């Protein structure tokens, strides 16, 4: 029996650069000491108070089927939060609760693209983006950015690839680059969306991790509220990665159809998880700032350490929990550098090519271990890079 082309070609085939990560995990499983600076997982766990709220809800009986669109109180709270931060009138009817941001991305593309349609996304990109697009039967079309532009997309490059496209997916603050799209960049993107009649899917899961500038949701720009679907999540803002609770915010008509999709796919999110998310959001910005604080500290540590060397070039991290380092001065591409670093120093980082061709000469370093350990690992990484840069080319 044959499986569908859609499922067997979901990842596009070939190496996606994650072999370094899988090898590091195998080494750890075999008992080797490896410093992991790979995936975006907080080094602290979900706050005990959030877990207590989840436990109380479950023990109180909220373990049956929850409302498919989401618990009303949580939808209201998300709407209030989004309206307060964006200035765009937002109500319960604009919100669908999803099993994490990833489910939101899949649902948003299901709503905006028919099979065979082109769906644009920015390169570098979060690793699931192309597969998510293939998963709904659309064609993933990358729009390549440039390191010299700080990996910010150029509107003319988006327009040049927009023939046959129905949607554009952006991510700010950005994983993997740490770039935060400013008003000028977002206004240029919005103009292309209006001119080419594109849906804009805005992945804003890192909105609470902004170190330079400010987060601006493109939904707030003129003419964009009716053509934008915003993806949000509790994962990064509240260290609730395993709880799988996120949302889509968009026009009521689109949300109505997305509720129908959820009825036929996920059938909602567990009620006790939603109650915990509601409790977490009700703690306000103080909790969010506490979750983000370690990454702000480690960014400053990294900037100080990297300022003392001249081999690795740091793309200034404006947001999120990652560093993007140009390793080209070592004579190696990102994949070879990451593989050699793992072998020599037992430090695991992600090759830039894992996130698209635009970042192939880079590595991504996750700032997700304790401060002292992170600083020591970065010092060793810099020393390794300096040693490789001194070696004659073969």
Q: Is the dihedral of CA 58, 60, 61, 67 positive or negative?
A: negative
- Convert 257-282 to b/e letters by CB count within 10 Å (16 or more is b): ebbebbeeebebbbbbbbbbbbbbbe
Q: pLDDT in tens for each of the 394 residues of the chain?
A: 999 989 999 988 655 668 889 999 999 999 999 999 999 999 999 999 999 999 999 999 999 999 999 999 999 999 999 999 999 999 999 999 999 999 999 999 999 999 999 999 999 999 999 999 999 999 999 999 999 999 999 999 999 999 999 999 999 999 999 999 999 999 999 999 999 999 999 999 999 999 999 999 999 999 999 999 999 999 999 999 999 999 999 999 999 999 999 999 999 999 999 999 999 999 999 999 999 999 999 999 999 999 999 999 999 899 999 999 999 999 999 999 999 999 999 999 999 999 999 999 999 999 999 999 999 999 999 999 999 998 765 4
Q: In what order do the strands lie in the sheet with 347-351?
A: 35-37, 347-351, 362-366, 322-326, 313-315
pLDDT value of position 390: 84
Q: Is the dihedral of CA 176, 319, 312, 384 positive or negative?
A: negative
CB 268 within 8 A of CB 67: yes
For residue 123, CA distances in Å to 147, 352, 388 come to 11, 11, 28
Question: CA 187, CA 172: separation in Å to the nearest integer?
Answer: 14
Question: Which residues have a Cβ under 8 Å from the Cβ of 294 and sit 6 or more positions away?
Answer: 42, 43, 44, 367, 371
Dig out the tokens for 96 from the structure. 């669908």
List, in sequence order, the alpha helices (H) in 182-251.
183-196
CATH class, domain 64-284, is alpha beta
**5-45+286-387 against 64-284: fold identical:** no
Residue-level pLDDT at 394: 46
**4-22, pLDDT tens digit by residue?**
989 999 988 655 668 889 9
- CATH class name, domain 5-45+286-387: alpha beta
Residue closest to 324 by CA, chosen among 282, 274, 359, 280: 359
What's the Cα-to-Cα distance from 379 to each of 41, 123, 151, 364, 365, rounded to whole Å? Answer: 22, 29, 26, 15, 13
Q: Which of 252, 229, 16 is nearest to 107 (CA)?
A: 229
The closest alpha carbon to 291, from 166, 207, 362, belongs to 207
List all residues 6 or more positions away from 165 whose beta carbon is below 8 Å from its beta carbon.
117, 118, 119, 120, 141, 196, 198
Domain chopping of the chain, boundaries: 5-45+286-387, 64-284
pLDDT digits (tens, 9 = 90+) for 54-87: 999 999 999 999 999 999 999 999 999 999 999 9
Four-CA torsion 345, 348, 352, 354, nearest 10 degrees: 140
Question: What is the helix (H) or strand (E) element at residue 171, kind and residue range?
Answer: strand 165-171
């Amino acid at each position: 029996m044959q499986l569908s082309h859609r499922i067997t070609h979901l990842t596009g085939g070939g190496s996606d650069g994650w072999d370094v990560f899988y090898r590091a995990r195998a080494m750890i499983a075999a008992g080797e000491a490896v410093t992991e600076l790979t995936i975006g997982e907080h080094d602290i766990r979900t706050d005990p108070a959030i877990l207590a709220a989840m436990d109380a809800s479950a023990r109180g009986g909220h373990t049956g089927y929850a409302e498919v669109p989401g618990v009303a109180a949580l939808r209201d709270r998300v709407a209030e939060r989004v309206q307060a931060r964006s200035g765009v009138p937002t109500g319960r009817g604009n919100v669908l609760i999803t099993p994490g941001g990833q489910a939101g991305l899949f649902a948003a593309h299901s709503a905006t693209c028919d099979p065979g349609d082109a769906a644009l996304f920015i390169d570098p990109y979060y690793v699931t983006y192309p597969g998510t697009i293939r998963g709904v039967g659309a064609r993933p079309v990358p729009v390549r950015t440039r390191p010299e532009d700080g990996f910010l997309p150029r509107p003319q490059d988006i327009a040049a690839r927009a023939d046959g496209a129905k949607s554009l997916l952006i991510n700010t603050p950005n994983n993997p680059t740490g770039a935060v799209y400013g008003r000028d960049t977002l206004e240029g993107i919005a103009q292309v969306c209006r001119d080419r009649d594109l849906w804009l899917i805005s992945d804003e899961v890192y909105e609470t991790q902004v170190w330079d500038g400010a987060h601006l949701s493109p939904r707030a720009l003129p003419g964009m509220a009716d053509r934008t679907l915003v993806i949000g999540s509790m994962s990064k803002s509240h260290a609730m990665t395993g709880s799988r609770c996120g949302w889509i915010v968009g026009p009521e008509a689109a949300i109505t159809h997305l509720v129908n999709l959820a009825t036929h796919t996920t059938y909602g999110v567990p009620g006790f998880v939603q109650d915990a998310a509601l409790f977490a959001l009700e703690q306000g910005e103080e909790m969010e700032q506490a979750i983000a604080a370690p990454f702000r500290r480690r960014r400053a540590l990294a900037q100080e350490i990297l300022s003392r060397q001249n081999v690795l070039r740091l793309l200034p991290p404006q947001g999120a929990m990652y560093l993007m380092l140009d390793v080209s001065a070592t004579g190696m591409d990102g994949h070879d550098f990451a593989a050699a670093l793992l072998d020599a120093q037992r430090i695991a980082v992600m090759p830039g090519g894992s996130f698209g061709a635009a970042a192939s000469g880079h590595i991504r370093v996750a700032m997700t271990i304790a401060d002292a350990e992170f600083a020591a690992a970065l010092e060793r990484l810099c020393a390794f890079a300096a040693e490789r840069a001194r070696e004659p080319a073969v």
